[in-house]
Amino acid sequence: MDNPPWVSGPGELLRHGLEHLQDDTDINRRLAMISIDNAVELMIKTYLGLPRRVTGISISRRKYQEISESFPQLLDALEEYAADKLDGINLGETEWYHRVRNGLYHQGNGLTVERDKVEVYAELAQVLFHNLFGCRLSVEKPAPTYRLGAYINNWVTIEKSLNRLAVLTFENMPKGSKPNLATIPHFLWRDGTIEKSTADELETMRMIRNEVVHGQVDYNEVITEELLQRLENVKQTLRTRIAKHEKTQ
């Protein structure tokens, strides 16, 4: 299936950023970070500017011009108009990475950025790309980066599953609303939807995800094949619980 034509610009920028990481030098990391951030900004602008028939979003031309003037306003608009597209995306983290990029761009030569920060931002950018446009970039990744991508993408699936289970099990939840992700496993355990061991594992996995994205741990050391298998097991458990609840609806 061909990708929609409006994804070509953001996709090319994102690929360009990833290509810079193939040669690990200070200047290539800086250029990668800048390109990836430019791609994130462009994909948000592109999505919010699409016809209503495509997204269901109606934004006046004047309003669109206003929100396009700054990155924080774009994030605010994304949260307002497309909150359902933010599974796996924390806009506070996105804004933080944007500020890192701004430091590299505006403060001149001599600054560098750690490779793992660029790689994490690249993975988050690819998640946002898929959320907004429904398609993925096809890129080859070395083993550690592959594990990083697998972890982040599987966590996105888990977030969606947790939100779905919340809709199925929490009474009187307003349509379209999302409870605090950190609290969902606890309440699902308390009402018997999942085992306590699953709730504990979910909390561990959430903390690891956050530590990786915030640069508090080295993902090359933390994200192992064994950890990915544990994540896969939790993902399958949630899928089973969803199927069980949907049969009773």
Q: Is the pLDDT confidence value at 177 over 80? A: no
211/21 Cα distance (integer angstroms): 22
Encode pLDDT of 66-83 as tens digits: 999 999 999 999 999 999
Tokens 């699902």 — which residue?
A: 188
For residue range 102-145, what is the model confidence (pLDDT) as tens digits? Answer: 888 766 555 678 899 999 999 999 999 999 999 988 776 666 68
Q: C-alpha distances in angstroms, 214 versus 21, 91, 121, 196?
A: 20, 13, 10, 27
Q: What per-residue string of b and e applies to 201-214 under the rule 16 or more CB within 10 Å gives b?
A: bbeebbebbeebbe
DSSP the chain: -PPPGGGHHHHHHHHHHHHHTTS--HHHHHHHHHHHHHHHHHHHHHHHTS-HHHHS----HHHHHHHTT-HHHHHHHHHHH-GGG-TT--HHHHHHHHHHHHHHHHS-TT----HHHHHHHHHHHHHHHHHHHS--------HHHHHHHHHHHHHHHHHHHHHHHHHHHSTTPPTT----TTTHHHHHHHTTSS-HHHHHHHHHHHHHHHHHHTTSS-HHHH--HHHHHHHHHHHHHHHHHHHHHHHH-
The pLDDT score that the predictor gives to residue 226 is: 96
Average pLDDT across the chain, whole number: 90
Q: How far is CA 188 from CA 16, 83, 169, 175, 245, in A?
A: 42, 23, 8, 19, 12
Q: Is the pLDDT of residue 1 over 60?
A: no
Task: Report pLDDT for 58.
Answer: 92
Q: 71: which 2 tokens?
A: 């990155």
CB 37 within 8 A of CB 101: yes
